[in-house]
């Protein structure tokens, strides 16, 4: 019971932190004010932001699995390669999210995909940090395993 409560509390804290970071990115990009008229439906920029967000989410999931050195689909021996995949996916998503925010000329509801772009930027950076942790661990273990000659 205590562990379940702790996990729920940790997930809520992570969601709150993520929402705060997305809001901070929107404020920094000067697109935090809602649009005067709301656009409904899928626009090209919303699709771009959603695709970048999905790529960032894939990068974070792959990075998390590689961090755990999961023996599932990824395999125990290829975790360094999957960390590189997570790094590249996070980089592409962060760049696309940032570009989406840079070309946006309105806030949430304007059809520019600013929420998705900010979320892709934040998740892409998180994926790159996870991949960097994994790659630094792999370098450290490779340095200690190499014999001195």
Predicted local confidence at residue 140, as pLDDT:
59
As a whole number, mean pLDDT of residues 67-75 equals: 57
Backbone angles phi, psi at 107, to 5 degrees: -95, -160
Exposed/middle/buried for residue 72 (C-beta within 10 Å: 0-12, 13-18, 19+): exposed
pLDDT at residue 72 tops 50: no
pTM value?
0.80
d(CA 16, CA 13): 5
Name the residue range of residue 107's domain.
2-145
pLDDT at residue 61 tops 60: yes
As a whole number, mean pLDDT of residues 136-140 equals: 70
Predicted local confidence at residue 141, as pLDDT:
57
Contact 121, 25 (CB under 8 A): yes
Query: What total number of domains does the chain contain?
Result: 1
As a whole number, mean pLDDT of residues 62-84 equals: 72
- When pLDDT is cut at 50, 70 and 90, the band that residue 96 belongs to is very high
Q: Look at 1 and 14; give whichever has higher pLDDT.
A: 14
């Amino acid at each position: 019971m205590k562990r379940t409560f702790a996990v729920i509390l940790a997930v809520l804290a992570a969601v709150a932190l993520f929402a705060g970071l997305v809001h901070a990115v929107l404020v920094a990009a000067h697109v935090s004010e809602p649009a005067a008229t709301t656009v409904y439906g899928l626009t090209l920029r919303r699709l771009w932001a959603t695709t970048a967000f999905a790529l960032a989410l894939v990068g974070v999931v792959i990075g998390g699995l590689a961090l755990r050195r999961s023996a599932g689909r990824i395999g125990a021996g290829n975790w360094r390669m999957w960390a590189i995949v997570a790094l590249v996916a996070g980089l592409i998503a962060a760049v696309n999210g940032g570009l989406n925010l840079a070309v946006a000329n309105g806030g949430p509801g304007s059809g520019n995909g600013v929420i998705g772009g900010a979320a892709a930027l934040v998740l892409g950076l998180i994926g790159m940090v996870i991949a960097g942790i994994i790659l630094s661990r792999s370098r450290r273990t490779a340095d200690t395993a190499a014999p001195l000659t």
